[in-house]
């Protein structure tokens, strides 16, 4: 009875940044639960690699070239995918970039704009345009990907621009949840700790930074993409039917201190 709440049979899910890391792990989790999955990524080679990995695991997936920083492209993708599949029931707004290491007073204009454009504007364009179709049908589930950095200030690396972008994702999620809750569309957010992905590989070359990360985390380890994917699966499923506007921390205890 209760395990059936996690099933996604007959539903279509779009995962942005779906070709690797958290996005790909999330796509696999959704596919295992029965969803038809579309990997949306600005790098088609990465998307094809992710598609092949899913196929090797026994799951079919479509791929889509999508730059989430271009609102016209996002709107076109939302319209075309909804027309093709009848409905996009689930959106995982995962695409994002990480920048750190520059003090606020030295951040270049283009670096600030780039991070905000991908991490915050891109999430909004996707939520707005896929959400519009969900609202017309009166049902749908959206999961955004924030960060524990939206709650705390990381150390030792300065990253005000990244932190601000993720705090924005959190409040955007809550704001849309308040607007859409009575209209059948849920939207929640997962806020991960440091996850072993290409975005965090730079830390391996800086023992002081890496050790600080581990010391600040009660579980004394980084997370794995699958550990975030499992939270995303829960939030996208009917098992989370009473949840909207929630920012779910999966941070190994980092924010306990």
Identify whether 253 is part of a domain: no
Identify whether 254 is part of a domain: no
Asked whether the beta carbons of 218 and 252 are under 8 A apart, the reply is: yes
Query: Is 2 tagged catalytic?
Result: no
Identify whether 161 is part of a domain: yes
Active-site residue, selected from the candidate residues 161, 162, 194, 254: 162
Question: Strand, helix or coil at 13?
Answer: strand
pLDDT digits (tens, 9 = 90+) for 153-165: 999 999 999 999 9
Q: Does residue 204 surpass a pLDDT of 90?
A: no
Asked whether the beta carbons of 102 and 158 are under 8 A apart, the reply is: yes
Identify whether 65 is part of a domain: yes
Write the CB contacts of 224 (distance below 8 Å, at least 6 apart in sequence): 195, 196
The number of folded domains in the chain is 1
pLDDT digits (tens, 9 = 90+) for 50-98: 999 999 999 999 999 999 999 999 999 999 999 999 999 999 999 999 9
Residue 65: give its domain's CATH number.
Answer: 3.40.50.720
Question: What mean pLDDT, rounded, does the chain reach?
Answer: 97
Residue 86 DSSP one-character state:
S
Look up the domain containing 21 and give its range.
Answer: 3-248
């Amino acid at each position: 009875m209760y395990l059936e709440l996690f099933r996604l049979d007959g539903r279509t899910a779009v995962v942005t940044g779906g070709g690797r890391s958290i996005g790909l792990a999330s796509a696999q989790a959704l596919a295992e639960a029965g969803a038809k999955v579309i990997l949306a990524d600005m790098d088609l080679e990465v998307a094809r690699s992710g598609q092949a990995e899913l196929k090797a695991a026994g799951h079919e997936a479509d791929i889509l070239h999508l730059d989430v920083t271009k609102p016209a492209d996002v709107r076109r993708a939302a319209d075309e995918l909804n027309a093709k599949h009848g409905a996009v029931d689930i959106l995982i707004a995962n695409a994002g970039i990480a920048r750190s290491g520059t003090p606020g007073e030295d951040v270049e204009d283009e670096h600030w704009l780039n991070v905000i454009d991908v991490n915050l504007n891109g999430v909004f364009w996707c939520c707005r345009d896929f959400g519009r179709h969900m609202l017309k049908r009166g049902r749908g589930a959206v999961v955004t990907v924030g960060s524990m950095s939206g709650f705390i200030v990381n150390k030792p690396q300065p990253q005000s621009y990244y932190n601000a972008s993720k705090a924005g994702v959190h409040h955007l999620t809550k704001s849309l949840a308040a607007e859409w809750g009575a209209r059948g569309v849920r939207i929640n957010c997962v806020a991960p700790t440091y996850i072993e992905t290409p975005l965090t590989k730079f830390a391996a070359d800086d023992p002081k930074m890496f050790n600080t990360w581990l010391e600040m985390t009660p579980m004394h380890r980084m997370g794995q993409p699958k550990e975030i994917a499992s939270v995303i699966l829960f939030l996208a499923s009917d098992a989370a039917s009473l949840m909207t506007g929630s920012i779910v921390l999966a941070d190994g205890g980092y924010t306990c201190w």
